[in-house]
Structure 1
């Protein structure tokens, strides 16, 4: 069973741009212990495109070695070539990871349906018998390459046991629900916290979000209580919607999440980012902490 409440975990790095694997493992265990049943390694929030193939493989090896169960890890393996994507995907699936999350190539734009289909078909063919549990990553704002319903349908027909789900990061509820309705066997994840409730109601699978780095317990509350419409679940969904829509989306997300973690832990190394990302300015940091404090009462604004 694929995990449903997943944190797109941020990647702690040293001043020399190496991944701090012990710190990453501790953070992953923390979100798993507090409500998530899965983590996504090297998603957009995890700055995936800023790390090399060897770094990405070594990080997964280290995460598992430090006790994070492979069955709870979804690995972002998307690259500009399906050869590199296949290399990372084979590595992750060979370790028994829950799934791989794959976006289309993001350099040559605009990407047409035929090209996106050939990319995913090439990935499946290259993986061969190892191909399983591939999740589409639909984030055209970042990749410039949408994954259309027609492409999904054609890939389902050609590779019926390979493609398991999709993360929809458009933030457009109508699009997410159309995926649930047209592909009832596809595990549909929202990339937006405020959409978890309606996605679950429609028959979707769950969420993969940056906010889960900070408030995994709230997402778990929504998942456990939405069906019975509990007050706790309603309250959790309200807080999540405010934290995401009224706060984090007003800032560069990876930078903001790392800043909040740095403040909570009093560990300034969490502010390290891989190029080309840069730390928030002091003015942004001060405003962010003020903005987020109504949704995270335990956050002490200094």
Structure 2
């Protein structure tokens, strides 16, 4: 099994003016986060508008990243779909490309899904993939998918399919739930989806973070990961900055749109604001709120 990266940007997906994936800009952005504090990146998660893209688009974008020099060992690919067949196709493709892992949520739309239904989904997926399947990271985000990944579900799947599942990303925002995963499943790499929770998750023995803010402030995550154990001043400062960036700013806005708005300002490339339906750009009021952070150079806007 591959070693999963610890600090991952949940990459936003840049689009050109026609709405097609801009693989060149995606590669440049991915290279930037990897050079500035992250050791990994997640493609086509929630922040990356994953469900809004077709299978072929997602496969070609991954191939383009790798062709542009992004190491597949640094990439975790969001491959979750509503059907087992589509999820299997994307997961096999990412595995064949040599990616570090795949991030897979339970199927959405038919909600609420109970534990047995979630177990059957993952079991069907693993059975269809066969002996080559590895390094699946559970994606627990019930607010978005309508289905949680409970302790019983994980325990059953780990027993039924040893060596297949290697981690879990918890985007519930509930620290106690994340710490329960750490306690119950020491064999899994537990990621928080909330920047402000990286410190306590690391203290408890968790693995790392997969976060939206890492698109903008990867160096802060690195400072926390390097300095939390010694409670260093730089780590405390980075933690305060992440509290402001995530809890006091991005969580008050539609997250994907807000991250893209900052990148549009920072790069002076308006195409960053392009979104796939049904997402829409920030309202004028939300843009003004976000710009106020930029005026203090919080987002390192160009001067």
> Do they fold alike, i.e. is TM over 0.5?
yes
Question: How many residues are paired up?
Answer: 301
Query: Out of 37, 40, 43, which is 2:42 matched to?
Result: 40
**Counterpart in 2 of 1:140?**
142
Q: Does 2:92 correspond to 1:67? A: no
Q: Cα distance 1:20–1:297, how it changes in 2: closer, same or farther (>3 A)?
A: closer
1:272 aligns with 2:250: no
| 8 A Cα contact 1:242 1:295, kept in partner | no
Cα distance between partner residues in 2 of 1:6 and 1:293: 27
**What is the deviation of 1:291?**
3.7
Q: Offset of 1:300 from its aligned partner?
A: 5.8
Q: Provide the C-alpha distance between the structure 2 equivalents of 1:42 and 1:297, rounded to a whole number of angstroms.
A: 23
Q: Is the 8 A contact 1:103 1:139 kept in 2?
A: yes
Deviation string 1:50-80 (CA, Å, 9 cap, x unpaired) is 0000100011011101111100000000000
- Equivalent in the alignment of 1:88: 90
Q: Distance in 1 between matches of 2:184 and 2:193?
A: 19
What aligned pairs does 1:143-292 form with structure 2 within 5 A after superposition?
A: 143-291=145-293
TM-score where L is the length of structure 2: 0.97
**Structure 1 gaps, min length 5:** none
The answer to whether the 8 Å contact 1:190/1:199 transfers is yes
Contact 1:34/1:217, CA 8 A, preserved across alignment: yes
| Contact preservation (8 Å) 1:239, 1:295 | no
8 Å CA contact retained: 2:7, 2:38: yes
What CA distance in whole angstroms lies between the structure 1 residues aligned with 2:41 and 2:216? 13
TM-score, normalised with respect to structure 1: 0.97
RMSD of aligned C-alpha atoms? 1.2
Distance 1:297 1:148, change over 3 A: closer
CA deviation after TM superposition for structure 1 residue 242, in Å? 1.2
The yes-or-no answer on 1:108 pairing with 2:110 is yes
Aligned pair in 2 of structure 1 residues 293, 5: CA closer, same or farther (>3 Å)?
A: farther
CA deviation after TM superposition for structure 1 residue 289, in Å: 1.6
By how many angstroms is 1:299 displaced? 2.8
How far, CA to CA, are the matches of 1:263 and 1:290 in structure 2? 12
Structure 1 runs of 4+ with >6 Å offset: none
Whether contact under 8 Å (1:75, 1:92) holds in the other structure is: yes
Cα deviation, residue 283, structure 1 = 2.9
